[in-house]
Amino acid sequence: MEYRNLGESGLQVSVAGLGCNNFGRRIDKAKTADVVAAALDLGVTLFDTADVYGPGGQSEEFLGAALGKRRADVIIATKFANPMGEGPLLRGASRRYIFSAVEASLRRLNTDWIDLYQVHIPDAHTPPEETMRALDDLVRAGKVRYIGCSNYSGWQIADAQWTARAHHLTPFVSAQNQYSLLDRRIEREVVPAARRFGLSILPWGPLASGFLSGKYRPGEPPPAGTRLAAAGPMAERALNAENFAVLEKLESFAALRGRTVLDVAIGWLATKPWIASVINGATSPGQMEQNVRAADYRLTPEEMAELDQITRR
Active centre residues (catalytic): 53
Eight-class DSSP state of 175: E
Q: Are the C-beta atoms of residues 156 and 149 closer than 8 Å to each other?
A: yes
- CB distance 177 to 190 below 8 Å: yes
DSSP 139: H
Q: At what angle do helices 301-311 and 241-256 cross, to 10 degrees?
A: 160
Yes or no: say if 269 and 206 are a contact pair by the CB < 8 Å rule: yes
Name the residue among 1, 109, 128, 16 with its Cα closest to residue 57. 109
Tell how strand 3-5 and strand 12-14 pair up.
antiparallel
Span between the terminal Cα atoms of the chain, in Å: 33
C-beta atoms surrounding 219 within 10 Å: 7
In a 10 Å sphere around its CB, with 0-12 CB exposed, 13-18 middle and 19+ buried, how is residue 72 labelled? exposed
What does the alpha-carbon distance between residue 158 and residue 185 come to, in Å, rounded to a whole number? 17
